[in-house]
Structure 1
Amino acid sequence: MSEVVHGYRRSRADTQPPLNSPTYGSTRARHPQQPLLELPHTLTETSSPVFTPARYPETVDLTVLENGAGEAMGERIIVGGRLTDEDGRPIPHAMVEVWQANAAGRYNHEGDDHDAPLDPNFRGMGRVFTDENGFYRYVTIRPGAYPWRNHHNAWRPNHIHYSLFGHGFAQRMITQMYFPGDPLLPLDPIFNTVADEAARNRLVATFDLELTRPEWALGFRFDIVLRGREATPMENT
C-alpha cells in the first residue's frame, strides 16, 4: 500500500513571530540579513536519532530530583495537553522537552545573574513523550517572573519553554507557554511579536479542572498544533 501524503494549509504571516521585531531588542542583532536558503534534508537528518524513552529517559515530575534530596519550592502545578496537526490528527511518540525559571524567577544556569535565590531541589528542565493519542503530562512548579533588560523596567511573564522533536534533529520546533490572567502579558515584547490576537492567545494555557488533583496541585492545559492556519506560534530566531 502506498504512503498517504497529507497536504497542509499555510498559516498567515501575522500568526507567527517575525524574524526581526523592533520591540524585541536582541532580534536586531541575530535575525538573518540575507534571504534564507532552503537546504534539502538527507535521510539522516529526517530519520535519526530515534527518540524513545529508553534512550532519552522521561522526567515527568520536575519538583523532585533523582536522589530524592527534597522537593522544589513554590506552587506545584500539573501541565498537560495534546500535540496534533491542523486537522486534529494526534502526533504520537513525540519528545517534548521543557525548561523554565524557578519559583523566584531564576534559571538554574550559569548565565543567569538575577539575584533571586536558586532552588537546590529544582533543575528547571524535564522531558516527556506523547502517547498514542498525542497526549503529554508533567508536574512542575509555577515559574516566577524575572527582569530581562530589554527596556526600562522590563519583566518577563511567567512562562515555560517547549522544545518539540519529531523523528530527527531537523524536526524540532520551539515555543513558550504562558499563564492566564498574567498582567505582564500585554507588556511583553516577546509574547506580542505575534500580531494576530487569536494566534497570540494560543500561547496561553487554560485552567483545567480535570487535570487538577484535589488538595495537591492545579492543572493547566496547553494544546499544541504543529502546522496550518491554527498552528501554535513557534520561535524562528
Structure 2
Amino acid sequence: MADPLPFRRDDPAHQPPLDAPAYRSTQGRAPLLAPIRAPVTLTEASAPRFDPAHYPPRLDLSRLEGRQAQGERIVVAGRLTDGDGRPVANAMIEVWQANAAGRYDHPGDQHDAPLDPNFLGRGRLFTDEKGEYRFETIKPGAYPWGNHHNAWRPNHIHFGVHGAGSAQRLITQMYFPGDPLLALDPVFNTIPDAGARERLVSRFELDLTVPEYALGYRFDIVLRGRDSTPFEEGHP
C-alpha cells in the first residue's frame, strides 16, 4: 500500500474569516467563542450515499419543462480535484443562482426584479471519473443586498460540493471575468490574498462555447492545498 499523502493545511490568507467587518451580516453569526470539536461518527463520515439513483441530476437550468428561460445562455464546466491534482470522481455538486434579472426563486427574496416562470435557478450534477462536470444555465444578474449604501452583489453562481457523508459539504461562489462590481464586493474581498480571490473568478473558454447558442466558462475547484478554492464555511 502506498504511503498516505501529507496533510496540507490551507494558508489562512486563502480563506475568508468568519467575522469580516465590511460584510456586515457575519458580525451577527460569527462565533464569539472557540469552536468545540465534535467527534465524527460513521454516520457523518459515510452517509448518506449521494448517487444519481437517489438524487437525480439536473444539468440544464436554462429550461423548465422544455420552456426556455429569459437571459443569456451559458455553459459552465470544470474539474474537481484534491490538493495533489487527482480527480474527485462521483462527487455531487449542487448549484443555485439568481435569474437574469437578479432575483432568486425564493420567498425570502423580495427584490422587485421580475421572476421568470421558466427558471428555478437550482441544479444538481455529479463529477465523472476524471472529476469533470458540465451544466447549462442562464447568466445571473446583479442584485442589491442592503449591506451598505448602494450595495450590489456581482454576478455569481453558488456551488455546494458534497463528499461521502453529511458532514462533508463545502460552499463557494463562482464569479465572472471583467465584472466591475468585484472590486466593490465585501463578500469577494473578505479573502485576504488576491491570488486566492482570482481562483473564484471563472475564465471564458472558447472550446466550451456552443456556436450560435451559448458562451462557455471554466471553473475548476481544488479542495485543499496551495491552490485550494476559497470556501465559505471554514477549511476543507
- Provide the identity percentage: 63
How many residues align? The count is 234
CA distance in 2, matches of 1:8, 1:174: 21
- Are 1:186 and 2:186 an aligned pair? no
Partner residue in 1 for 2:69: 72
Letter in 2 for 1:229: R
What is aligned with 1:63? 62
Alignment correspondent of 2:27: 28
Q: Deviations over 1:47-95 (max 9, x none)?
A: 1111011110000000112x33x11000000000000011100000000
Alignment correspondent of 2:165: 168
CA distance in 1, matches of 2:43, 2:10: 28
CA distance in 1 between partners of 2:143 and 2:2 (Å): 48
Given the two structures, how large is their TM-score scaled by the length of structure 1?
Answer: 0.97
Structure 1 equivalent of residue 143 of structure 2? 146
Counterpart of 1:107, as a letter, is Y
- Structure 1: distance between partners of 2:29 and 2:36: 16
Question: CA RMSD, aligned part only?
Answer: 1.0
The aligned residue for residue 199 of structure 2 is 202
Q: CA deviation at 1:8?
A: 2.5
Out of 224, 228, 233, the residue aligned to residue 230 of structure 2 is 233
Counterparts of 2:212 and 2:27, CA distance in 1 = 47
Residue 8 of structure 1 contacts residue 86 of structure 1 at CA under 8 Å; is this kept in 2? no
- d(CA) in 2 for partners of 1:7, 1:133: 22
What residue is the counterpart of 2:107 in the other structure? Answer: 110
TM-score under structure 2 normalisation? 0.97
Rate the CA distance shift 1:12–1:145 in 2: closer, same or farther, 3 A.
Answer: same
Superposed structure 1 runs of 4+ greater than 4 Å apart: none
Gaps in structure 2 of 5+ consecutive residues: none
**Unpaired segments ≥5 residues, structure 1:** none
Question: Could you say which residue in structure 2 is the equivalent of 1:128?
Answer: 125
Equivalents in 2 of 1:37, 1:99: separation in Å? 30
Counterpart code for 1:14: A
